[in-house]
Amino acid sequence: MSVGYKLLSDYDPHVLNPAFDLDGNSLDGNPNSVLDTNYSVPSNAAPIPTKESPTVYTQISPPPRSSLFVVSSLVAGSDRNAAAPDDHHFTPRTIDSRPRKKRTVNQSTSAGAPPNFAPFAPFSSPITPSSFNLPITTASDSYTPTAAASPVPSSSKITKPKPKTAMPLAKITTANGSTRIAGHAPELDTAPPVTARLPPCEMSAAELLYLFPNHTQWPKVMLRLLGSGWTVSDMASAAMYARAIVDDKVHKRRCAAMRYQTSEAGRAEFNDPTWTQTKAAPGQVSVVTDYDVSTYIPRHRKHLITIKLLDVARGVQWWPATSDRGIVSQVVRFARDNPVLCVDFTTDDIPTVATQQGFVMPRDASRSDWDTLCLHNFRTALNSVKTRMAKGTL
């Protein structure tokens, strides 16, 4: 006999899950089950399968019972989902149009004691919430979260980002075996940093190279020196001469740094990325007659700091010639000779200290070629030192 299968969506809920009493009697007027052949097939239902075209159907389990329903069923002495021989489970009255005998309660079961239900074990005492180890809580009880049953996979752990650390400075091993930081001139460590503000007064070219050698990175300082005839070798020698450094390797390294600073100064000052000293237009590199350095600024417009006079004097062994010493050199030497008196004085105090001590500018400061005269005086002093070193009298 062929069986007609129907779509579950074509049935009402009371047909799929009919209501029955404890004796198995249907409480609904329609005792037919899902497999009842007397029920008409809807027009949009699936075709009846045949042996030539078998169709595999997935068995649909009834919805799970809640824990409250199971407990109440056990207390009442019945369980519709149990599979033991003496239970009160539901049996359809007709399956495939064949009647089935209604199953009754086993009279041998003593009243008041629940039968042996599967999958539960026999109960020896009345069922209470404590039988299921159910905690009895009140509204005042606080909730305490519990840890997860299984550990969290390592791939899903939340880790704090590591703080960013500064990249280590690159180091260079020189030919004589010493180590220094790349791009760093250890011979100028005692000189004021490039971010130090220049004094608010006039300065000669010799004073800039002797006291502020790192400021050749400022465009106006470099172009002023180039316009006065100072070469890269002269600039490097002046910075080394002031600190009594005699080393050909250091001089070579300083010359290379000066050549780079020369191109960078012109490119920043004239806004020309291809500028070089050899390609400079006429008048771009010329003699400067205004010696006031208070308006000079660094190439990258860094935040400037004011340093003390004692910091400017640190490391200086040789000073400019007398005609090349403006009030800056005079006040810095005064601070070096009187450290207790000038411990808190800064470069901003130079005009005030010069006035109090009676320092004045030299006569050559009024000339338009003062920087060129400074170059001549420096070369004379350098040649004198080389001669004395060659004779061994220095």
Is there a contact between 29 and 12 (Cβ–Cβ < 8 Å)?
no
Residue 210 has a pLDDT of 96
Q: What is the DSSP string of 131-172?
A: GGT-----TTPPP-----SSPPPGGG---PPPPP-PPPPPEE
> Is position 176 within any domain?
no
> Can you give the pLDDT of all 394 residues of the chain as single tens digits?
444 544 545 545 555 555 555 566 655 555 444 444 444 555 555 555 554 545 454 445 555 554 444 444 444 444 444 444 444 444 455 555 555 555 555 544 445 555 554 454 444 455 554 544 545 544 444 445 544 445 555 555 566 666 655 555 556 565 556 665 555 667 788 899 999 999 999 999 999 999 999 999 999 999 999 999 999 999 999 999 999 998 888 899 899 988 999 999 999 988 888 888 888 877 788 889 999 999 999 987 778 999 999 999 999 999 999 999 999 999 999 999 999 999 999 999 999 999 999 999 999 999 999 999 999 999 999 999 888 888 887 6
> Is position 66 within any domain?
no
Q: Are residues 215 and 307 in the same domain?
A: yes
Q: Are residues 224 and 344 in the same domain?
A: yes
**Over 35-73, what HEC string results?**
CCCCCCCCCCCCCCCCCCCCCCCCCCCCCCCCHHHHHHH
Of 61, 88, 123, the residue that ends a domain is: 123
With CA atoms as reference, report the closest residue to 223 among 268, 262, 196: 262
Phi, psi of 39 (to 5 degrees): -80, 130
Neighbour count for residue 192 (Cβ, 10 Å): 22
> Is position 363 within any domain?
yes
Using DSSP's 3-state secondary structure scheme, residue 98 falls into strand
Give the torsion through C-alpha atoms of 239, 245, 249, 253, to 10 deg: -20
Whether residue 119 has a cis bond before it, omega within 30° of 0: yes
Q: Are residues 87 and 197 in the same domain?
A: no
DSSP state of 253: H
Of 92, 123, 154, the residue that ends a domain is: 123
What tokens were used for 155? 């791939």
> Is position 68 within any domain?
no
> Is position 135 within any domain?
no
Q: Are residues 222 and 313 in the same domain?
A: yes
Residue 34 has a pLDDT of 45
Distance CA 146, CA 221 (A): 71
Residue 229 has a pLDDT of 93
Q: Are residues 353 and 206 in the same domain?
A: yes
Q: Are residues 246 and 381 in the same domain?
A: yes
Distance CA 341, CA 275 (A): 47
> Is position 281 within any domain?
yes
> Is position 80 within any domain?
yes
Is there a contact between 115 and 77 (Cβ–Cβ < 8 Å)?
yes
Domain count, the chain: 2
Using DSSP's 3-state secondary structure scheme, residue 265 falls into helix
Residue 331 has a pLDDT of 97
Q: Are residues 339 and 235 in the same domain?
A: yes
Residue 281 has a pLDDT of 79
User: Tokens 């070369």 label which residue?
Assistant: 379
With CA atoms as reference, report the closest residue to 269 among 294, 290, 300, 293: 300
Q: Are residues 374 and 292 in the same domain?
A: yes
Q: Are residues 380 and 284 in the same domain?
A: yes
Distance CA 104, CA 311 (A): 110
Identity at 10, one-letter amino acid code: D
Q: Are residues 221 and 362 in the same domain?
A: yes
Rg (CA), the chain: 51
Distance CA 319, CA 262 (A): 25
Q: Are residues 118 and 220 in the same domain?
A: no
Residue 175 has a pLDDT of 55
Q: What is the DSSP string of 273-301?
A: TT--STTPPTTTS------B-TT---TT-
Q: Are residues 118 and 213 in the same domain?
A: no
> Is position 336 within any domain?
yes
Is there a contact between 392 and 386 (Cβ–Cβ < 8 Å)?
no
What range does the domain containing 379 cover? 193-391
Phi, psi of 98 (to 5 degrees): -110, 125
